[in-house]
Structure 1
Amino acid sequence: MIRTIFFVLFALGLFELFLLVKTGQWFGAWFPVLAVILGFMAGGVTIRHTGIKSLNEIAQASRTGQTGAQAAIGGILGFFAGVLFILPGLLSDVAAILLLIPVSRRLVEAYMVRNGVRQNRAPGSVVIDGEAVEIIDDRLPPQDKNDNSPWSR
C-alpha cells in the first residue's frame, strides 16, 4: 500500500514536470516560471482567506449552537486548495481551482459528509472517536499526593 502511494505521487510529480516542460516549449520559458510564481502567491492568499473565513463560520456556528461541520469541511478544503496552488505544477493548480468553484466544492463536501457520518446517530449530535486508557497507580512513579484535591483517588 505504501509503495503504491509513493509510486502514484512520484508518477504525478513526473507528469507535472513533463507538463511544465511542454508548456515551456509551447509558450516560452517564462510561462511556466510565471505560472509557478503566481500559483505560489495564489496559494498563500487562498490559505489566508479560507482560514479567516472558516474561523468566522465556526465561531458563528458555535454561537448559534450548531456543530459547524460544514464550516470545518469548507476550511479544510480551502486549505487543501491553497496547498495545491503552492505545489509547482499545472495539474495541481487545476485541482485547486476545481476545489474553489462552488459547484465542485459542494460535491466534494457532500462526498466527505456522506462518507464521514454514521447512519445511526441522532441529528445534530457529535461523536468523537477515541480510546480510553486506564492509568493504574502502580505503574506511576511515586509522587506526593494532595488529599485535598478532588482528582486524587
Structure 2
Amino acid sequence: MFARIFLFLTILPIVELTLLLLLGRYTSVWTAVGFVLITGLIGTVLLRIQGVQAWRNVQNDLRAGKMPTASLVDGFLILLASTLLISPGVLTDFVGITLLIPWCRRWYGLLLLWYFHARVITTFTQGNEAAPSAAAIRRTEVIDSYVVETPQHND
C-alpha cells in the first residue's frame, strides 16, 4: 500500500508537470497558465453549485426514507472532480471535467461501487477455501428475541 501511494505521489506530479510544459511549449506559457487558472476557477464554482445540489439530493433521499447511496457517491465524485480541477495539471483537469459530466459520473460511480463491492467480498471471504456465491452473501438469517425481566429480591 505504501509503495502505491509513494508511486502515485511521485509519478503523477511528474506526468502533470511534463504535460503542462508540453502545453506551454506548443501553445504559449500564458495559455498554460490561463488553463490552470480557469480550470481552478471552474472547479471552485462547480464545487459550490453541484455540491449544494448533491447535498439536497442526499437530504431528499433521507426524507423519503431511502438509503442515499447513489446521492452520496454522486456527491463524493463531485467533490473529487472539483478537487482535481482546482489542482494544477492537464491530466487531473481532464479527469475532473469528465467527472462533472453526468453520464460519465454515473459510469465512474458504477466503477467505484463495483470496486468496493469486490473489495468487501474479497475481505470477508479471505481465508475461506472458496468464495461464496452472490446468493449466499445476500442471504441473511433473522433471529427473534425478547427481553425477560426477572424480579429483584431485596434481602
Range class of TM-score, shorter chain: 0.7 to 0.9
Task: Identify the residue that residue 88 of structure 2 maps to in structure 1.
Answer: 88
Say whether the 8 Å CA contact 1:40–1:86 is kept in structure 2.
yes
Task: Identify the residue that residue 33 of structure 1 maps to in structure 2.
Answer: 33
Task: Identify the residue that residue 62 of structure 2 maps to in structure 1.
Answer: 62
Say whether the 8 Å CA contact 1:85–1:96 is kept in structure 2.
yes
Distance 1:35 1:105 in 2: 23
Distance 1:8 1:52 in 2: 30
Distance 1:116 1:3 in 2: 21
Q: Which moved more, 1:76-85 or 1:59-68?
A: 59-68
What is the root-mean-square deviation of aligned Cα atoms in Å? Answer: 1.8
Say whether the 8 Å CA contact 1:78–1:100 is kept in structure 2.
yes
TM normalised by structure 1 equals: 0.72
Task: Identify the residue that residue 51 of structure 2 maps to in structure 1.
Answer: 51
Task: Identify the residue that residue 97 of structure 2 maps to in structure 1.
Answer: 97
Task: Identify the residue that residue 71 of structure 1 maps to in structure 2.
Answer: 71
Distance 1:61 1:81 in 2: 22
**Unaligned 5+ residue runs, structure 1?**
123-153
Q: Tell me the CA shift for residue 3 of structure 1.
A: 2.8
Structure 2 residue identity aligned to 1:26? Y
Aligned residues: 122
Cα deviation 1:66-100 (Å, max 9, x = unaligned): 01111111000000000000110010000011111
Distance 2:22 2:92 in 1: 16
Distance 2:74 2:4 in 1: 29
Q: Tell me the CA shift for residue 105 of structure 1.
A: 1.3
Say whether the 8 Å CA contact 1:39–1:93 is kept in structure 2.
yes
Cα distance change on mapping 1:32 and 1:52 into 2, 3 Å: same
Say whether the 8 Å CA contact 1:46–1:79 is kept in structure 2.
no
Give the structure with the higher percent helix.
Answer: 2
Equivalent residue runs for 1:101-120 within 5 Å:
101-117=101-117, 120=137
Cα distance change on mapping 1:115 and 1:91 into 2, 3 Å: closer
Q: Tell me the CA shift for residue 121 of structure 1.
A: 4.8
Q: Tell me the CA shift for residue 47 of structure 1.
A: 1.3
Cα distance change on mapping 1:113 and 1:30 into 2, 3 Å: same
**Unaligned 5+ residue runs, structure 2?**
121-133, 140-155
Say whether the 8 Å CA contact 1:85–1:92 is kept in structure 2.
yes
Structure 2 residue identity aligned to 1:87? S
Distance 1:69 1:92 in 2: 25
Distance 1:113 1:22 in 2: 35
